[in-house]
């Protein structure tokens, strides 16, 4: 299957999903085929695939299609993400004021860390991060936190996938193997925070976990800066403040321990 065909197939599937609106919540196979100018066999094949993945439901009596429950799951993720960012904003602002370094709020997306929010300090420095940016999880403080607090089976699968995709040595202290990464993640889970020094870039990043009311880690907060600003003597205090901020946000999200 060539790339052009794959892209065309995805576009057709997306066009099918876009047909479902408040005004037209249900469609017959023949109606979809006619509306999108697709032959019946192609349309049916696409609908079967979408149904297999939960994006489409087919009523066995009326033979009509409607959107599946996967969209409820996805909408819940979006709502939760928006809530986290809204609640986190004042916590992040307070942390920036205290430490005068850039702070991040990150969540796990696949094997990457994605930044939901970032606040610069009064003296911004060039970092490879911004809102919406995805960075490797295995060499960032937010990323390592999110990996460390996954259930063991899922964590092992994620690390295996990272290894399969190839571990890139971005900095002099980037992990070199899956075994080394797993060892670090176990230690991070024990101590409750992550410290990355010269792993993704020349500098220091310190992260801590954010819990929600289900007692799951759903995000991570980190502070990041250059080594000439965050010295090794500063690390204990910075770590304490990042943990305190993460605990404060966790409490706001309904976590009590």
Helices (H), the chain: 3-18, 29-36, 40-52, 70-99, 141-148, 152-165, 178-191, 235-252
Looking at residues 68-91, what average pLDDT do you find?
A: 80
Helices (H), 192-256: 235-252
DSSP state of 140: S
Beta bridge partners of 242: none
Instruction: Give SS3 for 22.
Output: coil
Q: What is the pLDDT of residue 47?
A: 95
pTM, two decimals, is: 0.71
Closest by CA position to 88, among listed 200, 210, 231: 210
Helices (H), 166-234: 178-191
Q: What are 175's two structure tokens?
A: 């992990």
Q: What is the pLDDT of residue 35?
A: 95
d(CA 139, CA 157): 17
Q: What is the pLDDT of residue 238?
A: 97
Q: What are 129's two structure tokens?
A: 């991060």
Q: Quick one: which H or E segment has residue 205?
A: strand 204-211
Q: Which residue has the higher pLDDT, 72 or 144?
A: 144
Does position 222 have pLDDT exceeding 70, yes or no? Answer: yes
Return the C-alpha torsion angle 185, 186, 187, 189, nearest 10: 90
In order of their start, the domains of the chain are 3-68 (1.10.10.10), 75-252 (3.30.450.40)
Q: What is the pLDDT of residue 128?
A: 61
**Alpha carbon of 96 to those of 28, 93, 213, 232, 253: distances in Å?**
55, 5, 26, 19, 20
Does position 243 have pLDDT exceeding 60, yes or no? Answer: yes
- pLDDT interval class at 79 (50, 70, 90): low
Looking at residues 158-174, what average pLDDT do you find?
A: 93
Q: What is the pLDDT of residue 102?
A: 92
Residue 27: φ, ψ to 5°: -140, 145
- pLDDT interval class at 51 (50, 70, 90): very high
Beta bridge partners of 219: 210
Q: What is the pLDDT of residue 3?
A: 67
For 140-163, the pLDDT digits (tens) are 999 999 999 999 999 999 999 999
- Count of C-beta atoms within a 10 Å radius of residue 36: 15
Q: What is the pLDDT of residue 124?
A: 64
Burial state string for 148-161 with b = 16 or more CB within 10 A and e = fewer than 16: bbbeeeebeebbee
Torsion sign (Cα): 98, 99, 105, 108: negative
Closest by CA position to 104, among listed 226, 224, 198, 3: 224
Mean pLDDT of the chain: 90
Q: Quick one: which H or E segment has residue 226?
A: none
Does position 1 have pLDDT exceeding 60, yes or no? Answer: no
């Amino acid at each position: 299957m060539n790339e052009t065909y794959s892209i065309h197939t995805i576009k057709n599937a997306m066009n099918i999903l876009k047909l479902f609106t408040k005004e037209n919540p249900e469609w017959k196979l023949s109606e979809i085929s006619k509306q999108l100018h697709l032959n019946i066999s192609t349309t049916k094949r696409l609908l079967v695939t979408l149904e297999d993945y939960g994006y489409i439901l087919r009523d066995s009596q009326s033979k009509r299609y409607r959107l599946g429950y996967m969209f409820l799951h996805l909408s819940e993720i979006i709502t939760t993400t928006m809530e986290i960012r809204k609640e986190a904003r004042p916590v992040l602002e307070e942390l920036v004021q205290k430490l005068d370094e850039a702070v991040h709020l990150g969540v796990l997306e696949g094997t990457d860390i994605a930044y939901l929010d970032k606040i610069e300090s009064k003296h911004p420095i060039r970092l490879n991060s911004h809102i919406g940016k995805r960075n490797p999880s295995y060499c960032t403080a937010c990323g390592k936190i999110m990996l460390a607090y996954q259930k063991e089976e899922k964590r092992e699968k994620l690390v295996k996938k990272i290894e399969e995709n190839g571990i890139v040595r971005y900095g002099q202290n980037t992990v070199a193997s899956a075994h080394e990464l797993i060892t670090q993640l176990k230690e991070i889970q024990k101590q409750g925070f992550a410290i990355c020094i010269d792993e993704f870039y020349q500098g220091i990043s310190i992260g801590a976990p954010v819990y929600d009311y289900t007692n799951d880690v759903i995000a991570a907060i980190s502070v990041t800066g250059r080594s000439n600003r965050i010295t090794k003597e500063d690390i204990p205090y910075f770590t304490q403040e990042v943990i305190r901020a993460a605990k404060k946000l966790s409490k706001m999200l309904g976590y009590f321990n």
